[in-house]
Amino acid sequence: MLIHPVPTPLTQFLWNLFIGIALVITLYTCNFYYLVFLARQKKKTKSVELKEIPTVTIQLPIYNEKYVAARLVNAVCAQDYPKEKLCIQVLDDSDDDTFTILEDLVNDYKKKGFDIMHVRRGNRKGYKAGALRHAMSFAKGDFVAIFDADFIPPSWFLKKALSYFCKPEIGLVQCRWGHVNEKYSALTMAQALSLDFHFLIEQQAKSNSHLFMNFNGTAGVWRRDCIEDAGGWHTATLVEDLDLSYRAQMKGWKCVFIPDIVVDAELPVQMNAAKRQQFRWAKGSIQCAIKLLGDVVIKKIPVDTKIQAFVQLTRHIAFPLMLMQFLILPVLLATKINLYIVSGLPALTILAYLAMGPLVYIMIIRDLYNTSWKSKALSYFYMVFYSAGMSVNNTVAVFDALFGKKNEFLRTPKFGIIKKSDDWRDKAYALPFTKTTLLELFFGVYGIIGIFIAIFSENPIFAPIIGIQTIGFFYIAYLSISHSTFKKGKSRNMPVTSGNQRMANTYYKFAMGGIMGLILLGVVMAFEEYSTTIYPLDQARGLLLRIQATSDPQSIHNDLKAVKTLLPPSGNPVWIFPTDDTDFGLMQGDLTTMLATTDKIATTSPDSAAFHTGMLNVHYQASTIVFNLLDATPYMYVSISNMLFGCIWVGVIIGIFAMLKRKRERLRAYEVEDN
């Protein structure tokens, strides 16, 4: 028999917060399903045959992309489009070898008759948005196409994309991203499916309707009048593309998405690069929400458009909400609060989670991919762990935006990786892991403790739910660290003969071993702490519940003796504001009284009034102690010793990070000397 106690004020607050968060996340999820419905409305965007070939400017914003920059320029110059109608702007802010590569390439194409210019600003003011804004002053023609460095536009791209500007109010034609290296790893497969969902569902749904859709920063063509009417490129946010597209649509321009035009691009193959990209998108979206939502509210646009704009601009709020839920759930489980949708029917709870998540997504995948859906279904499970683990990184980004922290626009490094046999670890631009990895490890260890709590609190149905996020945190943290190591003794930018290569690799290996050892130590200590302090309280509650269900004095006597040995002889886990209810010394006194009462009624007739009165008293006291133990249990997790160990544990990991930072600075100093 499982008793669900009356919650304390703190527990009630956490319960209300948990349910409130669940409702908000559910609303965001249901909105995605609404977009699925809109995307299924097969509305084909009209196109017209070009009677006159318009002049087009192609802008290529590039910063330190020596592995892919030439590939992009070659693809753009291979466009099946008249040279005299094409203006190519290579917006190069690079400060490495990319500059030389592009300078030579641009000069070669100039000799071949191309109107191509190598634009150098001398600084990175405004970053990508600044480069685009600077180049608009000498752009030619009525249309502007934009490609990031890792994209490979097909030769027919311009003619086909321009054919969709069949109405004067169409200001943007956004094309779908393809993936040249989708099968490279589980990481790229997860990213590819996530992007496909964005384009084939979100962008398609909004293009089909009057909802606002966003420019994705690349693989799109703008009408020049639209850019200028919307106020041009702004540099206030990290997502200048989302900012401009929303301002344009509030001015009455229409943005359309064309799924049939697919432009292949390279997905990040290094976890730290993928995290940087996700961080920029998450922070930039919140920055745009702060900047634009006021205008969205007051503009004369449909109510559902306002709602969808709010959802799109704020959807990354779901990540900190997910983390809050993750932290709260084990606490609620430890207090024995009923979390089932219908009391006593845990199966219904897990079915609800499955119905809202995997089952619906698998159906969507079958509809989108037809015969290839099974391989995509495998990618979905990779995406689940990837998205769950990325919640820490994106939560930091959200708070950065909310608190107005200024960040440099950090581009996502690419390595020219296409085939599985391609390797990136000995190339420049590989990123080291950051302090966010420390938080991911913390949440991973916390998740393991949460799984134990779910199992021992007789709520194993929640163990897989906690486990998915836990695996995600460890997956992201592991790849963040392992993708920071050097391969074949090569530093990111150092000559092969440098004597510091092996030292760098050794430091990272030691760091990796130290952090994994600390994780293992944390898990062992958490399990040991649970088995010695929390689990005995669970056993004591079980015995007290059995006492309430029996009237056998001898059985009650034996159980009471066992309970006395399981509970601490004295002390109060609520060390900040202690109460009598959670005082173990008082509980021991109550148990002693119960033993005396049990021994006394054992000498009376079971049919006597004294026996029944004494037994009722024992049952009532047992029930009271059960509730007292439920109140005390959560505070056992935050004992002074646990907090001290946690601080030491975190401090050691921070020390490892500090050691690596110092070593990285020394390696950079050696690099300067060697060069």
3-state secondary structure 641-670: HHHHHHHHHHHHHHHHHHHHHHHHHHHHHH
Distance of CA 229 to the CA centre of its chain: 35
Angle at Cα 548 formed by Cα 542 and Cα 550, nearest 5°? 105
Please report the pLDDT score of residue 273 as a whole number: 95
Confidence of residue 394 (pLDDT cuts 50, 70, 90): very high
Confidence of residue 638 (pLDDT cuts 50, 70, 90): low
Of the chain, the percentage scoring pLDDT greater than 70 comes to 86
542 or 215, greater pLDDT: 215
Please report the pLDDT score of residue 279 as a whole number: 95
Q: Give tens-digit pLDDT for 70-89.
A: 999 999 999 999 999 999 99
Check pLDDT > 60 for residue 459.
yes
pTM reported for the whole predicted model: 0.79
In a domain, 624, yes or no: yes
Check pLDDT > 50 for residue 2.
no
| 200 and 251 Cβ atoms separated by less than 8 Å | no
**Rounded Cα–Cα distance for residues 162 and 172 (Å):** 10
In a domain, 156, yes or no: yes
List active site positions.
93, 241
Summarize the confidence of residues 628-639 as an average pLDDT: 76
**Rounded Cα–Cα distance for residues 398 and 4 (Å):** 36
Confidence of residue 306 (pLDDT cuts 50, 70, 90): very high
Please report the pLDDT score of residue 60 as a whole number: 97
Domain with 214 in it: what CATH number? 3.90.550.10
Which residues form the domain of 604?
531-642
Domain with 635 in it: what CATH number? 1.20.120
Residue 455 CB contacts under 8 Å (≥ 6 apart), including other chains: 463
Q: Alpha-carbon dihedral of residues 188, 193, 194, 196, nearest 10 degrees?
A: 120
Sign of the four-CA dihedral 634, 534, 338, 33? positive
Please report the pLDDT score of residue 488 as a whole number: 42
Q: Cα dist. 99→91, 104, 561, 671 in Å?
A: 10, 9, 81, 20
Please report the pLDDT score of residue 438 as a whole number: 84
Q: Give tens-digit pLDDT for 133-172.
A: 999 999 999 999 999 999 999 999 999 999 999 999 999 9
Please report the pLDDT score of residue 442 as a whole number: 86
In a domain, 126, yes or no: yes
Check pLDDT > 50 for residue 491.
no
In a domain, 495, yes or no: no
Please report the pLDDT score of residue 163 as a whole number: 95
Bridge-based pairing of strands 170-179 and 86-92 is: unpaired
642 or 263, greater pLDDT: 263
Give me the phi and psi of 329, to 5 degrees please: -55, -50
Sign of the four-CA dihedral 570, 575, 578, 582? negative
In a domain, 61, yes or no: yes
In a domain, 429, yes or no: no
Please report the pLDDT score of residue 668 as a whole number: 54
Q: Cα dist. 450→254, 334, 399, 460, 468 in Å?
A: 48, 9, 25, 11, 12
In a domain, 412, yes or no: no
Q: Which of 563, 529, 474 is nearest to 641 (CA)?
A: 529
Range among 241-255, 545-559, 564-578, 633-647 rated most confident: 241-255
Bridge-based pairing of strands 143-146 and 116-119 is: unpaired
Structural domains in the chain (count): 2
Please report the pLDDT score of residue 509 as a whole number: 63
Confidence of residue 498 (pLDDT cuts 50, 70, 90): very low
Q: Give tens-digit pLDDT for 546-603.
A: 898 888 999 999 999 999 999 989 888 877 677 788 889 999 999 999 999 999 998 8
Q: What is the CA radius of gyration of the chain?
A: 31
In a domain, 234, yes or no: yes
Check pLDDT > 90 for residue 536.
no
Q: Which of 574, 567, 565 is nearest to 632 (CA)?
A: 574
Check pLDDT > 50 for residue 1.
no
Check pLDDT > 90 for residue 664.
no
Check pLDDT > 80 for residue 127.
yes
Q: Which of 541, 638, 553, 556 is nearest to 587 (CA)?
A: 541
Q: Give tens-digit pLDDT for 351-389.
A: 666 666 788 888 899 999 988 888 899 999 999 999 999
Mean pLDDT of the chain: 86
Please report the pLDDT score of residue 51 as a whole number: 82
Angle at Cα 564 formed by Cα 558 and Cα 567, nearest 5°? 140
**Rounded Cα–Cα distance for residues 550 and 531 (Å):** 27
Q: Give tens-digit pLDDT for 285-302.
A: 999 999 999 999 999 999
Summarize the confidence of residues 91-107 as an average pLDDT: 94
Confidence of residue 521 (pLDDT cuts 50, 70, 90): confident
**Rounded Cα–Cα distance for residues 179 and 186 (Å):** 14
Please report the pLDDT score of residue 500 as a whole number: 55
| 159 and 81 Cβ atoms separated by less than 8 Å | yes
Of the chain, the percentage scoring pLDDT greater than 90 comes to 54
Check pLDDT > 60 for residue 670.
no
Please report the pLDDT score of residue 660 as a whole number: 65
**Domain end call among 226, 253, 270:** 270
Confidence of residue 98 (pLDDT cuts 50, 70, 90): very high
Confidence of residue 508 (pLDDT cuts 50, 70, 90): low
Please report the pLDDT score of residue 497 as a whole number: 42
